[in-house]
Amino acid sequence: MSEKSPDAYRTISEAGEEAGLPPHVLRFWESKFAQLKPVKRAGGRRMYRRQDVLLLKGLRRLLYDDGYTIKGAQKYLREHGVAAVASLADAETPSPDPAQDLKPTVESQQSEAPVQAEVPVQTAPIHDGEPVALSESQINLARRALSRLEQARARLSGVLEKTA
């Protein structure tokens, strides 16, 4: 990509390349995040401003690195604002706990019996006999994955009981 001024408009390909996302993801996210509104030229060609690219990078971090769902990222964006999400773009510190923003979503998806999955924070995989340090976002992702597995197991048990 050619070196552009930070304030120059970017095509969807350039914005995607800078944010580390394919163009189809940018189009999809436009439908999911009302705050993401690139300028559209004649013929519908999208042109992304610097702030749009920073928002894309922040959303990418929430969704890909921190493990937020689309609904969780939407809630985070509504509660914290575009500037806060855009500031996550190049931040090295982890964003707030995604489990907090997703708790209502997870609870609303649970069926008859709620399942609580507990993963101690100190738990770490062992590599060559030595514990491996996990980041807070990795721990949160593991907690959420375990919770989803437990929910699926409970639903499957319910289905099997009904058919027996």
For residue range 51-101, list pLDDT tens digits in order: 999 999 999 999 998 889 999 999 999 999 999 999 988 765 454 554 444
CA distance 55 to 94: 16
With respect to CATH, is domain 1-93 assigned 3.40.50.1220? no
6-46: pLDDT as tens digits: 789 999 999 999 999 999 999 999 999 999 999 999 888 99
- The first and second tokens of residue 79, run together, are 């509660």
Q: Where in the chain is the domain with CATH 1.10.1660.10?
A: 1-93
Nearest alpha-carbon partner for 57 in 96, 16, 94: 16
pLDDT of residue 2: 54
